[in-house]
Amino acid sequence: MYSEKVMDHFQNPRNMGEIENASGVGTVGNAKCGDIMRIFLDIDEGGVIREAKFKTFGCGAAVATSSMATELVRGKTVQEALQVTNKAVMEALDGLPPVKVHCSLLAEEAIHAALWDYAEKHGIAIEGLEKPKNDIHEGEEEGGEEG
């Protein structure tokens, strides 16, 4: 059911833990399944992500997507990290079962939330970054948010 890469990142997660005095911290959850994901970023003066760590409470797929997401953003610029989508996380893991796709969405949103936190702390705007949702199902019942 799960790819070898998903199993590897679940059983041997990369970058687990937290970063003290992180440049940005993003926490998102999914009330429907109970997964909670927190991503910590250490970003240098040039806007490059030096370090990325995570703490996730959830299923194996949530742990695996958190692990892969931190791997994908390390060494990237803030703008490049913004391009790491749930699809990119899933592809890097050689796919996820359809019922676990929401875990990759959590990873994308957690990255965006950490970047948003970084931007707010530094009084900067990151082009293309929108205010993240705390719950990935926010706004679904209302038919989406108007911008």
The set of catalytic residues is: 33, 103
Q: Which residues contact 34 (CB under 8 A, 6 or more apart)?
A: 57, 58
Contacts of residues 1-6 at CB distance under 8 Å and 24 or more positions apart, as own/partner, are 1/97, 2/60, 2/61, 2/64, 2/96, 2/97, 3/93, 3/94, 3/95, 3/96, 4/94, 5/64, 5/68, 5/92, 5/93, 5/94, 6/60, 6/61, 6/64, 6/93, 6/94, 6/96
DSSP tag of 100: G
Location of structure tokens 């390390």: 74
